Amino acid sequence: MSQKIRTVFFGTSLFAVPTLEALAKDENIELVAIITQPDKPAGRGKKLTPPPIKKKAKELGLEGIVYQPNKIRTEEFFSFFRELKPDIAVVVAYGKILPKGIFDFPKYRTLNLHASLLPKYRGAAPIHRAIMAGEKITGNTVMLIDEGLDSGDILTQETEPIYEDDNIITLSERLATKGAKLLVRTLKDWVSSKIEPKKQDPSKATYAPPILKSEYRICWKAEAQSVHDRIRALYPNAYTTFNGKRIKILSSRVVEANVNLPPGSVYPFNKDGLYVVCGDGKLLQVLELINPKGKKIKGEDFIRGYKVERFL
């Protein structure tokens, strides 16, 4: 390419960090602005904390082109964006919906990296929802942004297996790393007219809405595999209760069985492990948890230290 591609990057969360790094290091790409969300209070002290993208931009020596607008649907931001004269814009886990006046302005429009095999799992929580649904395969999609919810034309896709011991952290890290490479490769091929956009089939669309607080509580009446998938998807925040206190379940495995006890009952295994009865009569072995004192321990250590007959 004779000239560098003038690129504006929109991103906020940790998932977007590998893509920012890849764009910054590519000799064919010139980052002219990094748009991220404002610093927010975090931790017990509610100290203003910059988003992961701002931190990474500083590490890369790019803090001078970081912008944190409170609103992007303003004439002030539109003017600022137009003055950048971007060839293309890129969106990865930004957290706000871009208006048409922004995503349609660049010569090569705006690309979005979405962590699912669209049109499946459109929406805010595609990785969580794929794990919760017991999917064995997911992936990344690079698409052109339109006015719908993750409904734009597909440019490229790649698949990624979901392993039985994956949780939201491990799978997100792999998808973010692979997605960064896919996005940069797609961007350059798209600008070079090597890609033909492909329409999504709306009849095959499924949705991945944000996780509700109520979903973090484990329902032991569900099938053991479903409980296991929820624990993986919501790591480290899926919880049950014991003596009125929350117990966070960190990891588990399904044990084939046919137990005739109420769901949530702790199955007596001579204290060699913590086994909980689920709605289908199978057992879920709790491998790691956070005990009432806030300490991470193994399931067998918990059952030795606490007299527990049932979780609620």
pLDDT in tens, 157-191: 999 999 999 999 999 999 999 999 999 999 999 99
Sequence-ordered list of residues with C-beta below 8 angstroms from that of 63, at least 6 positions apart, any chain: 54, 57
* pLDDT at residue 271 tops 80: no
161 and 200 assigned to the same domain: yes
117 near 157, Cβ under 8 Å? Answer: yes
97 and 51 assigned to the same domain: yes
175 and 225 assigned to the same domain: no
Distance CA 33, CA 22 (A): 15
**Domain CATH number, residue 88:** 3.40.50.170
**Residue appearing with tokens 């890129």:** 90
Picking from 174, 204, 234, the residue at the C-terminal end of a domain is 204
246 and 134 assigned to the same domain: no
90 and 238 assigned to the same domain: no
Distance CA 66, CA 64 (A): 6
Picking from 187, 204, 221, the residue at the C-terminal end of a domain is 204
Q: 17-31, 47-61, 240-254, 270-284: lowest mean pLDDT where?
A: 270-284
62 and 172 assigned to the same domain: yes
- 288-296, long-range: CB < 8 A, 24+ apart: 288/249, 288/250, 288/251, 289/247, 289/248, 289/249, 289/250, 290/236, 290/247, 290/248, 290/250, 291/247, 292/242, 292/243, 292/245, 292/247, 296/250
Distance CA 43, CA 37 (A): 18
In a domain, 97, yes or no: yes
pLDDT confidence tier of residue 1, bands split at 50, 70 and 90 = low
* Termini Cα distance of the chain: 61
Distance CA 155, CA 173 (A): 22
pLDDT confidence tier of residue 270, bands split at 50, 70 and 90 = low
* pLDDT at residue 208 tops 70: yes
132 and 166 assigned to the same domain: yes
102 near 78, Cβ under 8 Å? Answer: yes
68 near 38, Cβ under 8 Å? Answer: yes
In a domain, 312, yes or no: no
Mean pLDDT of 110-125: 98
Range of the domain at 234: 213-305
121 and 241 assigned to the same domain: no
pLDDT confidence tier of residue 268, bands split at 50, 70 and 90 = confident
Q: How far is CA 93 from the centre of its chain?
A: 8
196 and 218 assigned to the same domain: no
In a domain, 310, yes or no: no
113 and 195 assigned to the same domain: yes
Q: How many domains does the chain have?
A: 2
Picking from 204, 224, 254, the residue at the C-terminal end of a domain is 204
In a domain, 197, yes or no: yes
pTM above 0.85, yes or no: yes
In a domain, 311, yes or no: no
Sequence-ordered list of residues with C-beta below 8 angstroms from that of 217, at least 6 positions apart, any chain: 238, 239, 240, 241
256 and 193 assigned to the same domain: no
Distance CA 48, CA 46 (A): 6
In a domain, 56, yes or no: yes
199 and 260 assigned to the same domain: no
**Domain CATH number, residue 222:** 3.10.25.10
Q: What is the DSSP string of 91-121?
A: EES-SSPPPHHHHTSSTT-EEEEESS-TTTT
In a domain, 196, yes or no: yes
In a domain, 103, yes or no: yes
